[in-house]
Every structure is written in structure tokens, then in C-alpha cells.
Structure 1
Amino acid sequence: MGKEQVEDIKAVVIRNVKGVWREYWLPITAFVVLIISCQLFNLTHSGFFYPLMFASGWIVVMFALKFKSESAVFSLKKLTKQRQKDTSYEMYTILRIYTNDSDFQEYMHIREYFDSQHIKMENRVIDHNHDIESQIMFIRNPEFTYCYHLLMDQKNEMYFIGEYV
């Protein structure tokens, strides 16, 4: 290795260490103070080190909890999203539209007409590996002749599933 390469590597390491120190100086200092005060307490058994150990330990624990909640490894939301991507399950809103109109499919794209129908909504997880129609239970309403099932995903896109008489 040439002297220039060693100097370049040394400059990069120093810059990275300064960047880490600039961002994490408080937890690093608290951790060092905690280690030193614990070692000095073991040697002297002096009560003088109790406040130092408590304060620095508290700072270290608070930063550890903060990093734990923000870390992708421990984050429950990110872990749940990753599991949903890995599996075939997805959350949908099921719309059951009850009507006596046999021409519902022709006019359902008109917002006023759609809103005038009797609609029941339910959130459900759907498995894409199985038949979607079989996962949505048909609930009869004796007041209406027709029941239409629509799925609405999290992007508010609607999918027609089936018509029941």
C-alpha cells in the first residue's frame, strides 16, 4: 500500500469517527462514564459514584430504548409490513350493497346512485392463494332482492366480486 492510500483511508476513518461523535456524543459519553464509575465503585465502594452510575445509566437506557423503537430490526410496523409483503394476505374493506335494482352494475359508477343504495362495510383480511368469493360470506337481507360484493383495497380501488340473488 502506498502512503497516499494509507492517508486516504486514515482521512475517511477520521471523518467517519467525527461524524459518529457529532451525532452520538451524549450516549457515548454516558456509556464511558457508566463503565468508569462502575469500575471505580468496585474498587472503592464509595457512595459518591451512585449518582454518576444512575444518571449515566439512565441516559444510556433512554438512548437504547429510542434506538430500539426506531430501528428497522425491532420496529413492529416495519416487521408487519414486511410479513404482509412476504405472504399473500392483504386487508380489504368488503362492501355489501343491497338493492332491489337489477341494473345496479350499469349505474354503480355514478356516485349519487351508488351512495343511494343500502351499503354495509366490513374490514377483512383476504388470502390471495384461495378463492376470494368463498372468503366473503353472503349475508341475506330479506328487504332486498340483490346483494353485490365489492372489495376496496387500501388505495381505495374497488373490485367487483359477485352478485347474489
Structure 2
Amino acid sequence: MKSLYKIALLVCLSAVVTSCFDKSKPNYQYFPNMYESVGYETYSESKAFANGKEGQLPAEGSIPRGFEPYDYPNTTEGYNAAKANSKSPLDSLSYDAPKAAALFTVYCAICHGDKGDGKGKLVQREKFLGVPSYADRDITVGSVFHVATYGLNAMGSHANQLNAHERWQVATYVMELKGKL
């Protein structure tokens, strides 16, 4: 008889527990936003921003973290001014000749050659013609940095590949190559 009561109690208890269960929507959710998140459309209007329509713009005059401003514009006048006035901020302790040589080999030697004579692999294979030798050019460390920053003629900018410190290292190394030629 006791076992019959235990079985009846177990059936009643399971009926009570399962009668309120709904598989499509559980009764209690821990962090309900994780299960039923609010969907936002990309580029839609939102009250999260001050103007209610588009994302926040950076403050006027602000610069990205780690950005080093360069005062010379990407013009012929800017090139001439950088050539005449720009000096390398590197001293003898911060200039790393092996690293500068490695950077030159990776980014510059393919066109300019390992010696700076304008006979790199792409010139030898006639992919680019007219790459000048450093011996034939009237260049300064400032003009080399300016050209590495903005590019000139067929040469593109290397500002995305090299940070300012690395561009100064390469410019100093180019002046060493020019001295050897």
C-alpha cells in the first residue's frame, strides 16, 4: 500500500511540474537578452547616438592614438620644403642599421636594388622602367622620408606599411647607400 501512495505522489508531482511547461517560451530565463536579443539593422537610425541618425564622429582636431603628425603637405612645395628643412629625429642610439637594412630590403630593394643603384628585380625584369639610382638624385633624408610617406610618380606611399620611426630609419639608410655610391 505504501508503494501505491509513493507511485501516486510521484505521478501527481510530475503532472504538476510538466503541466506548466511550454517549450516555445520557458517560464524563467536567466539573462533573457541572451536568448531573445534585440536585433539592430546595420546603418539604421538609433537613439544611441547624439544626433539619432548616424554614428559619433571624432572630436574636432583629435588624432588617432599612436599617430605622429607630419607637417608637410603632399605637394611639390611640401616636397621641396621637406627636402630643405626636414631633419631626422633619430640619434645614433635610436638608429638601428641592421633593422633599417632589413626594412629597405623588404620594401625598397625590389625596385631600387640592394645597393640603391636603381637595378632591382622588377627593373631587371622590365616591369618598371626609369627607377633612378640614388647617386644621380639630389636627395636629403627629409625628401626620402617625404617620398616614403606620400609616394612620388610611380612609387606609392609606404605610410601604411612602415610607421614614422621605420620610415626615418629607411631614409637614413638610403642616405648611407647614396654615400657609398
TM-score (norm 1): 0.25
Higher helix share: 1
Q: Tell me which structure has the larger Cα radius of gyration.
A: 2
Higher strand share: 1
